Amino acid sequence: MEEENLLSQAAERYLVFLKAELNKSPLTIKTYAESLRLFQKLTSTPDPLLINKQVIRTYKSALHTYRTKSDAEITIRTKNHHLTILRAFLRYLLSEEEIDVYPPDRITRFKEEQRQVKVLFKEDLENLLRAPDESTKIGKRDIAILRLFFSTGLRLSELRTLNRSALNFKTREISVRGKRGKVRLVFLSDSAIIAIKNYMDVRLDNLDPLFLNNHDKANTALPPGDEFRFSDNGIYRMVKKYALKAGIMNNPSPHTLRHSFATDLLRNGADLRSIQELLGHKDLSTTQVYTHVTNPRLKEVHEQFHNTE
């Protein structure tokens, strides 16, 4: 029975390593655990030493036919994420446990099409920012969230976890802990500062979270009050609601505002390295996807300066 669980046992040790040595977030550890369980489910491999080229082929084939609980096919990007996690697990076994497993670098990823970036045109962005009713407490909260998204390019998870103490109105900065626990500074625009202050002025509580749900109950709660923090799903649905109200047809999400922030910087002359830092991207190649949105300018340069005769 013990032999049948060797892969599971190795996976558990790897998860402990991620937490203890690499300080990975609970969400990252959960994602890795689910991915490694999926590998075991799709390949029925009981021992890391049994992973070979055929097992990898079986896994990659099974990923193509795998369906989620809602019977949806997973994207190429998600499939590649599963392969990346498997490679990281094997690399851990090689380097940390000195187990002679299948070489992780021999696991190739699926070829991905060029990623499409969804951004908002200026008119759509203005309509979205005007959509909340600023005469209400909820409306003040929501306009503050929308303006903060566009001012900083924060990820949804980064914005949700912000506390009041993270904001420095004097220096117009926010210290943000992003992916891999990396801390970076993002900066507040005038409109974002005004919107956040307007929301803070109508708050009657002393709770830590910057954005709350159920303000009435929060008024009498004691700090820290994390149970009243506006959730990921709540923020996501809020953006969708106002996009519908504003008549925006391309179905934007919070990440669309992050994309819009980055492309706005690029179109106005910011360099890619600076945008990379502001977005908290680990690799410049991730940031370079935004050049495809602004590339129409290259056509104008070509037509103006290239001799086509």
Look at residue 136 in the predicted model and tell me its pLDDT.
97
**In the chain, domain spans:** 3-106, 122-298
88: nearest Cα among 75, 100, 105, 76:
105
DSSP code string of 156-189: HHHHHT-BGGGEETTTTEEEEE-GGG-EEEEE--
Q: Is domain 3-106 classified as CATH 1.10.287?
A: no
Catalytic residues: 155, 179, 255, 258, 281, 290
Top-confidence residue, 252 or 288: 252
Per residue in 2-36, pLDDT (tens digit) is: 445 899 999 999 999 999 999 888 888 999 999 99
Query: Once rounded to an integer, what is the mean pLDDT over residues 179-200?
Result: 92
The fold adopted by the segment(s) 122-298 is: hpI Integrase; Chain A (1.10.443)
Q: b vs e for 247-265, b when ≥16 Cβ sit within 10 Å of the residue's Cβ?
A: ebeeebebbbbbbbbbbbb
- Whole-model pTM: value is 0.67
Look at residue 303 in the predicted model and tell me its pLDDT.
61
